Amino acid sequence: MEKLTIIGSGTMGHSITLSAAWAGINVNMYGLTETDSAAGINAIRKKLEGLVAHDLIHLNEVKGILKNIRLTNSIDDAIKEASYIIECVPEDVVLKNNLFNQIDLKCGPDVILASNTSGLRLSAIVSGTRHPERTLITHFWNPAHLVPLVEVLRSPATTEEVFVRTMALLKLMGKKPIEVKKEVPGLVGNRLQFALFREAQYLLDQGIASVEDIDAAVTFGIGRRLAVTGPLMSADMGGLDIFYTVSNNLFKNISNASESYPALQGLVSKEKYGDKSGEGYYQWDERFSAKMNMLREDYLIHLVKDDKSTDNCTAGLEK
C-alpha cells in the first residue's frame, strides 16, 4: 500500500485526505500553519458526522478513520516516508512549480508526485524538476470524499509504472479514475461543464429563459439522464441518426463565445461572487446557503449509497 501525503488542508486537501483515510489508508495531511491543519481536521470531523448521520459509516468507525490521519506543518516531515504525494495548493502555477521543484529535490525518484490542478498545464507545473517521469495530474472533484471521478493525465515522460500505481491507489480509495490522453486546458470534466455554462450564460443574456428556469432545465431534465448514461451513451440510446441531424442543425446556433457574457461580467465587477459573498445569480443568505449545501450533500450521499450497493460506481456501463 502507498504511503500517502496530501500537501494542503483546504477545500480539496482535507476532502481527499478523508477519502484516503475512509478507505483504510494511512495519510499525512500537511497544512501551512497549525491553524490551517486544525481547520482541515475540523472539516473532516464535520464531514464524518454527516456520513454517520446518513448511515454511510457507523459511529464506532470514526475513531479508526481519524487514526489513519496524521497532521503536520513541516514539509520535510510530511514527505520523509511518503511513496505518493498529492499536491492540493491554490491554482497558482508559480506556487505549484516551486513546490514541485522543492519536493523533487527532497524525494527519491520512486516517489510519485501528483497535482490536483483543475486547469493548469502539467508541463508548466513540473518544469525544471529532475524526475518528470514520476509526475502526473490527479484531478479530484469537489467534494472529493463523495464524488468518485478523478481525471488522470500523464505527460510524455510519465512512466507506465507511475500510471499503474496511480490507478491502483485511486481504485483503492473507491474512486472512478479516467485517463485524459492529451494535455488540454480543463481536462475532460471542466471542458464539458464550461461548455454547458457558456450556453447557460448565452440563454440568460438573450432573455430566452430565467436563471431559475435554465437551472431547472438541467436539474429536472438532462441532468437526471446524464447522471446515468453520459452524453455519448445518451446519443447511442436516442439514435445517432437523430443526434447527427440535430447537431448539424443546432451547432450553428449554439454559443461560440470566447469570453463571459455581460451578466457574469457585471456580477464579478461588483464583487457578487455567489454563495461566498451573499449574492450572485441568486441571493445567498445564511439560511439559503445552508439549505442548498445540505441538499447537494444529501443527494451526493444518496448516490454514494447506490454505488456501494452495487460495489461498482459504473455498474450500468459494464457489459
The residues that are catalytic are 151
Count Cβ atoms below 10 Å from residue 278 Cβ, excluding itself. Answer: 14
Q: Residue 90, class by beta-carbon neighbours within 10 Å (0-12 exposed, 13-18 middle, 19+ buried)? A: exposed
Name the helix (H) or strand (E) containing 179. Answer: strand 176-180
d(C-alpha 278, C-alpha 266), whole Å? 15
Question: Which three cell numbers mark 128?
Answer: 525544471
Around Cβ 42, how many Cβ atoms within 10 Å? Answer: 11
Alpha-carbon span 254 to 167, nearest angstrom: 37
CA dist., res. 19 & res. 12, Å (int): 10
- As to burial, measured by CB atoms within 10 angstroms (0-12 exposed, 13-18 middle, 19+ buried), residue 232 is exposed
Going edge to edge, which strands form the sheet with 4-7?
69-72, 27-30, 4-7, 84-87, 112-115, 135-140, 149-154, 176-180
- Tell me how many degrees the CA angle 297-298-301 measures, rounded to the nearest 5: 85
Backbone region of residue 99 per phi and psi (left: phi > 0; alpha: psi in -120 to 50; beta: other values): alpha
CA distances from 307 to 18, 28, 135 (A): 18, 27, 30
